[in-house]
A = this chain, B = another copy of it.
């Protein structure tokens, strides 16, 4: 049997194949995967290639799909064209299946990009008297067998004129195996999605290019619900007082998201219509308020959410302007106070597949804790409060320019300030550092009491004299009015220390209680993951020194950044991870800390400003 050589350009790959093999098969032999959603039946035109030399006569399928000029130019359907001579074939990018991978920070892994929304360019044969299939069937036949027709009539409305206007060369938008839209020409690359992390305090929006999984732009702002209450509880109270309160909280977050999406697409030069899907993580209350759901069940024991499973709703219904038939996918929650953001942390950190004993702590306005033991998962939420995000701290602020993020009291007060500016406040990691240093030098004792100047011994004078007393009580001055960018001194008050102590006690007690439930000890933890912006800036030594996290060898503690937001990106760019997130939400054991009998004892112990655990 004669063998022919087929060379594929621009890759420069080639294959020797027997006669009568299709170009599609020859490409496979050359280890090039070409698109063929119609299964090689000559129906979708997706495998269109240009045969530069050795082109055989066009087949009837070619004649239906290509113009006369294109046929002369060598355009053929790879699935229909048989190799009958040596050939050189130009493969356009649109015909080639390419795998992309996302690099995940912190935990250093890659995922296969396989988004829920896929766009496929099609070249359809126009109708003839022998082929009077209706327009929709013509498109469905060109797609994979398990794609469903559109749920919305909108996509069908212009279909007939659109097909004819574009010579039946169109791009199908498929979202979750449903045909969502048909666009004229080849628009397969113009496919975007939005991943959102709704924090109680901050909202972050990531615009992602779906075919590659790349983040194209990011926008963020403070959660505007904060004007109605800085923590979850106060917003819940407003939401259940009546429809108006709920509508206000719902409206403010959806408007903020719509605005942030506008900023992100403008920054990237992308049309809102080219954004087909939004994925969202947030705590359970945030998920309810985003959807405008009455959160009455979350207010009192037994803390019953309206829903826990994943929700997919039309973006239009939430007033979020993306593609008119675009959807918002809300990642499932684990329980009343352990939300989709925790599912995101688990997905991003792969704790569900971790071996041994591992712990993740996500410190935001609440502190969520996940304990993984050989693939089994427990999660709880602690009312840590927003101290580490700067709230309730007299000069507290987020980790932004002007924030003191590191403090050392070695002979003098040395503060590191974020950005190239004068200090204007202190962020969470700065607070932890300051408290750790104050305890180390003896200005603050283990019980959290700030000592008066006269009660302090063996402390450098430059440090000791920073202890001042005014009408509010004792405080420790980090920067004087002259040094401060705001003209007001930046101090840590006795009350700030108590706030930090309560927050860190709640987190440590949570970790401690869950580990005890499993009969394990904090020092047995093999890896401790710190998630959230706070986790990125914190000094591990300081966190261990004041007993915010268990004392462990430093290499067991890893910062993984905004893992919740990364989780939202992962479910946007991978349907497998989306399904895995749904499975995780179902199988995590939800621990209600307040129902643990030794909760208050543990919490009291955990308040001590010293390395923990205490020796038993």
Contact = CB atoms under 8 A, between A and B. Distances in A.
Interface of A: 127-129, 131-137, 149, 151-154, 156-161, 164, 291-297, 301-309, 311-314, 317-318, 335-336, 595
Given A153-B292, A160-B295, 14 more contacts: A128-B302, A129-B302, A131-B302, A132-B304, A133-B304, A134-B308, A136-B308, A151-B312, A153-B313, A153-B317, A156-B311, A159-B294, A160-B304, A161-B296
Given A159-B293, A160-B293, A294-B160, A306 B153 contact: no
A491 B160 CA distance: 45
Contact of A132 (B131, B159, B293, B303): B303
Contacts of A136: 306-309
Nearest to A302: B132
A137 B310 CA distance: 12
Nearest to A250: B157
Nearest to A154: B317
Contacts of A308: 134, 136-137
Given A129-B301, A153-B292, A293-B159, A134 B307 contact: yes
Contacts of A335: 132
B132 A294 contact: no
Contacts of A293: 153, 156-157, 159-160
A158 B247 CA distance: 12
In this complex, which of A159, A160, A335 has the most chain B Cβ atoms within 10 angstroms of its Cβ? Answer: A160
Nearest to A128: B302
Contacts of A132: 302-304, 335-336
A57 B578 CA distance: 47
A317 B305 CA distance: 30
A366 B471 CA distance: 93
Contact of A137 (B292, B309, B317): B309
Contact of A135 (B152, B153, B157, B304): B304
Contacts of A152: 313-314, 317
Contacts of A306: 134-136, 156, 159-160
Contacts of A128: 302
Contacts of A137: 307-309
Contacts of A291: 153, 156-157
25 contacts: A127-B304, A128-B302, A129-B301, A129-B595, A132-B335, A132-B336, A134-B305, A134-B307, A135-B304, A135-B306, A136-B306, A136-B309, A149-B307, A152-B313, A153-B292, A153-B313, A154-B317, A156-B293, A156-B307, A157-B291, A157-B294, A160-B293, A160-B297, A160-B306, A161-B294
A156 B307 CA distance: 8
A153 B153 CA distance: 19
A69 to B, nearest CB: 25
A127 B309 CA distance: 17
Contacts of A157: 291-294
A305 B156 CA distance: 11
10 tightest Cβ-Cβ pairs between the two chains A and B = A132-B302, A136-B307, A153-B313, A134-B305, A134-B308, A160-B294, A160-B296, A129-B302, A127-B304, A160-B297
